[in-house]
Amino acid sequence: MYYYLKCIECGAEYSKDEVIYTCSKCDGLLDVIYDYSSIELDMEKLKTECPSVWKYAKLLPIEREPVTIREGGTPLYKCDRLAEKIGIKELYVKHEGMNPTGSFKDRGMTVGVTKALELGMKTVACASTGNTSAALAIYGAKAGIPVIVLLPAGKVALGKIAQALMHGAKVLSIRGNFDDALALVRTLCSQEKIYLLNSINPYRLEGQKTIGFEIADQLGFRVPDRIVLPVGNAGNITAIYKGFREFKILGITDSLPKMTGIQAEGSCPIVKAIKSGAPEITPEDNPETVATAIRIGNPVNAKKALSAIRESGGTAESVTDEEILEAQKDLARLEGIGVEPASAASVAGLRKLVEMGVIGRDETVVCITTGHLLKDPQTVIEVCEEPTVVDANIESIRKAIFGNNK
Ligand code: AN7
pLDDT at position 368 is 98
pLDDT at position 348 is 98
Yes or no: say if 121 and 127 are a contact pair by the CB < 8 Å rule: no
Q: Report whether residue 231 contacts ligand 1, using a CB cutoff of 6 Å.
A: yes
Residue 342, classified by CB atoms within 10 Å of its CB into exposed (0-12), middle (13-18) or buried (19+), is buried
Beta strands in 69-178 (DSSP E): 76-78, 90-95, 124-127, 147-152, 170-174
Question: How far, rounded to the nearest angstrom, does the alpha carbon of residue 17 sit from its chain's CA centroid?
Answer: 27
Q: Report whether residue 233 contacts ligand 1, using a CB cutoff of 6 Å.
A: yes
**C-alpha 131 – ligand 1 centre gap (Å):** 7
Cβ atoms within 10 Å, residue 2:
10
Which amino acid residue places its CA nearest to atom 8 of ligand 1? 233
Q: Which CATH number fits domain 76-102+204-383: 3.20.20.140, 1.10.260.40, 3.20.20.60, 3.40.50.1100?
A: 3.40.50.1100
pLDDT at position 292 is 96
Rounded to two decimals, the pTM is: 0.98
Name the residue ranges covered by the structural domains of the chain.
76-102+204-383
**C-alpha 228 – ligand 1 centre gap (Å):** 14
Which amino acid residue places its CA nearest to atom 18 of ligand 1? 293
**C-alpha 381 – ligand 1 centre gap (Å):** 22
pLDDT at position 293 is 97
List the chain residues with pLDDT less than 70: 405-406
Distance CA 37, CA 250 (A): 8
Which amino acid residue places its CA nearest to atom 13 of ligand 1? 370
